[in-house]
């Protein structure tokens, strides 16, 4: 990620009437640039000899330009604050967005044009939302890109927001289903289509609340997902993986340990692989899932602690697990499954489903406890107003899970 900020007197914008030169800022982000005039009084041509190109400030000994330097310092500090705040979203930010933020410019969005309005919705509503996880923002971006491509291909770029009808929503549904080899687009399956539409609906709900449209054209529009059977990791197959002799294939051992850690905790690969020893406090872990930003809290079982102990002090960055990519993990899990005599695909997601099944088989039934262990949202659960899942409840859950896992691998 390449990004830089530059200040300079823009001699090309010298006023013909006053012969004075304005101060500009210049943003470069991944090869794209944006510039804008800073609200400082333009300087005379004579002042250019006091400008230091290296520091991009006026030389300190000239007091009359001290206010200019203070202003530029403030802008540079705000620039770095912006980078810290939106570090994970820089791939979706344009240099003009940073420029407009620094210069306090309001986005000039044509709210009547559907294409511009939905792009503005992402920039002004989704991207700055601190309650949305990075993965959620990426999914919104992908969905909006699908919608913008649809408008472009069907030559609807000039369509106004109030002109988008139910028929257009159905066209969009069909567009998602059908492949388009000319642009390299593949046809999406039912579940993926519904995920895209789910991210587009809130935009039209917003328009409806603003009384700019009378009804949501996507209401009731959805694909019928084709149900496919995905084999679950059975207790017997789990035992096979645990007992598999990998002494002749030592490179596979870290991948098995990662998989078993996921089976014992139910964490996703991206959440588990970045855990460090500082994330374990008093025998429990608590984190916010990257996918949904929902809290997970659980006390570690003995089986989980044994894996952590195995790698303690042997991994850089104080991680508790060897760092392996998701693709390589799933690829090596296929090899492990074959060696263990398992005739279906085993992935990191198989571990999360296995953990959920283990919760049930351990005798844990309270829905709020299950959601706390799994990291599922509790916002729609009425019982969350009455029951507080404290440490003692979670310790009891740990004991039940620990006993269950001990029974499986004894």
Question: Does residue 216 fall inside a structural domain?
Answer: no
Could you tell me the pLDDT band of residue 379, with boundaries at 50, 70 and 90?
low
Beta-carbon contacts of 142 under 8 Å, excluding residues fewer than 6 positions away, are 196
Question: Does residue 223 fall inside a structural domain?
Answer: no
Same-domain status, 194 and 243: no
Question: Does residue 219 fall inside a structural domain?
Answer: no
Q: Higher confidence at residue 172 or residue 123?
A: 172
pTM of the model: 0.59
**pLDDT over 80 at 62, yes or no:** no
Contact (CB, 8 A) for 298 and 280: no
Instruction: List b or e across 296-323, with b for residues whose CB sees 16 or more CB atoms inside 10 angstroms.
Output: bebbbbebbbebbeeeeeeeeeebbbee
Q: What is the mean pLDDT of residues 14-26?
A: 91
Same-domain status, 82 and 148: no
pLDDT at position 6 is: 94
Contact (CB, 8 A) for 397 and 369: yes
Same-domain status, 204 and 182: yes
pLDDT at position 407 is: 93
Tell me which of 63, 80, 102 is where a domain ends: 102
Identify the residue whose tokens are 């959601």. 371
Could you tell me the pLDDT band of residue 142, with boundaries at 50, 70 and 90?
very high
Cα(383)–Cα(349) distance, integer angstroms = 28
Secondary-structure breakdown of the chain: helix, strand, coil percentages, each rounded to the nearest 5: 55, 10, 35
Phi (first) and psi of residue 311, to 5 degrees: -105, 0
Same-domain status, 8 and 124: no
Same-domain status, 93 and 150: no
Same-domain status, 255 and 390: yes
Question: Does residue 310 fall inside a structural domain?
Answer: yes
Q: What is the mean pLDDT of residues 164-184?
A: 92
Same-domain status, 202 and 254: no
Could you tell me the pLDDT band of residue 248, with boundaries at 50, 70 and 90?
very high
pLDDT > 70: percent of the chain: 96
Contact (CB, 8 A) for 292 and 375: yes
Q: Within 178-220, where are the H helices?
A: 190-209
pLDDT at position 110 is: 52
The total number of structural domains that make up the chain: 3
Identify the residue whose tokens are 């705000």. 78
Contact (CB, 8 A) for 320 and 328: no
| DSSP bridge pairs for 36 | 25
Number of Cβ atoms within 10 Å of the Cβ of 153:
14
pLDDT at position 63 is: 77
pLDDT at position 388 is: 79
Cα(122)–Cα(285) distance, integer angstroms = 33
Assign residue 56 a region (left: φ > 0; alpha: ψ between -120 and 50; beta: otherwise). Answer: left
pLDDT at position 90 is: 76
Same-domain status, 159 and 306: no
Cα(175)–Cα(169) distance, integer angstroms = 10
Question: Does residue 263 fall inside a structural domain?
Answer: yes
pLDDT at position 168 is: 96
Could you tell me the pLDDT band of residue 182, with boundaries at 50, 70 and 90?
confident
Identify the residue whose tokens are 């006390």. 299
Could you tell me the pLDDT band of residue 299, with boundaries at 50, 70 and 90?
very high
Q: What is the mean pLDDT of residues 367-390?
A: 77
Query: What number of CA atoms fall less than 13 Å from residue 341's CA on the CB side?
Result: 8
Q: Higher confidence at residue 380 or residue 128?
A: 128
Q: What is the mean pLDDT of residues 327-339?
A: 95
Residue-wise pLDDT tens digits, 257-277: 999 999 999 999 999 998 988
Same-domain status, 155 and 29: no
Same-domain status, 90 and 135: no
Question: Does residue 78 fall inside a structural domain?
Answer: yes
Instruction: List b or e across 77-114, with b for residues whose CB sees 16 or more CB atoms inside 10 angstroms.
Output: eebeebeeebeeeeebbebbbbbbbbeeeeeeeeeebb
Question: Does residue 42 fall inside a structural domain?
Answer: yes
Q: Within 44-113, where are the H helices?
A: 66-85, 95-102
Same-domain status, 10 and 127: no
- CATH at 366: 1.10.443.10
Least confident of 29-43, 129-143, 263-277, 395-409: 129-143
- The residue length of the chain stands at 410
Same-domain status, 96 and 147: no
278, with CB counted inside 10 A (0-12, 13-18, 19+), is exposed
Q: What is the mean pLDDT of residues 382-396?
A: 79
Show the domain range for 119: 114-209
Could you tell me the pLDDT band of residue 194, with boundaries at 50, 70 and 90?
very high
pLDDT at position 380 is: 63
Question: Does residue 59 fall inside a structural domain?
Answer: yes
Which range of 9-18, 65-74, 289-298, 352-361 scores highest in mean pLDDT? It is 352-361
Q: Higher confidence at residue 366 or residue 63?
A: 366
Number of Cβ atoms within 10 Å of the Cβ of 162:
12
pLDDT > 90: percent of the chain: 62
pLDDT at position 136 is: 84
**pLDDT over 60 at 389, yes or no:** yes
């Amino acid at each position: 990620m390449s990004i830089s900020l530059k200040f300079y007197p823009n001699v090309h914008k010298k006023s013909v009437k006053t012969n004075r030169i304005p101060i500009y800022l210049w943003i470069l982000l991944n090869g794209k640039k944006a510039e804008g005039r800073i609200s400082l009084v333009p300087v005379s041509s004579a002042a250019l000899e006091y400008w230091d190109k290296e520091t991009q400030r006026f030389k300190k000994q000239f007091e009359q330009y001290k206010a200019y330097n203070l202003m530029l310092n403030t802008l540079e500090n705000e620039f770095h604050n912006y980078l810290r705040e939106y570090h994970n979203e820089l791939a979706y930010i344009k240099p003009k967005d940073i420029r407009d933020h620094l210069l306090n410019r309001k986005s000039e969005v044509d709210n009547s044009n559907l294409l511009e309005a939905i792009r503005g919705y992402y920039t002004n509503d989704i991207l700055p939302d601190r309650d949305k996880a990075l993965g959620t923002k990426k999914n919104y971006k992908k969905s909006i890109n699908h919608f913008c491509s649809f408008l472009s291909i069907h030559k609807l770029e000039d369509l106004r927001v109030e002109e988008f009808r139910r028929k257009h929503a159905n066209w969009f549904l069909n567009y998602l289903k059908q492949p388009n080899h000319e642009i390299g687009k593949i046809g999406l399956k039912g579940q993926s289509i519904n995920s895209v539409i789910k991210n587009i609906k809130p935009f039209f709900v917003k328009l409806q609340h603003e009384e700019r449209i009378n009804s949501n054209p996507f209401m009731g529009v959805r694909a019928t997902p084709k149900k496919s059977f995905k084999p679950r990791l059975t207790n017997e197959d789990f035992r096979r993986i645990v007992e598999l002799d990998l002494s002749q294939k030592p490179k596979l051992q870290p991948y098995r340990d990662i998989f078993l850690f996921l089976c014992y905790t139910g964490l996703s690969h991206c959440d588990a692989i970045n855990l460090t020893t500082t994330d374990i406090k008093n025998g429990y872990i608590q984190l916010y899932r990257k996918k949904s930003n929902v809290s997970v809290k659980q006390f570690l079982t003995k089986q989980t602690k044994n894996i952590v102990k195995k790698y303690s002090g042997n991994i850089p960055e104080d991680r508790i697990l060897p760092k392996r990519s998701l693709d390589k993990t799933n690829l090596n899990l296929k090899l492990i499954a074959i060696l263990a005599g398992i005739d279906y695909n085993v992935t990191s997601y198989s571990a999360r489903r296995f953990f959920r099944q283990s919760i049930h088989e351990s005798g844990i039934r309270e829905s709020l406890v299950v959601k706390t262990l799994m990291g599922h949202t509790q916002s729609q659960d009425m019982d969350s107003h009455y029951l507080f899942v404290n440490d003692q409840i979670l310790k009891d859950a740990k004991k039940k899970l620990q006993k269950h896992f001990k029974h499986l691998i004894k």
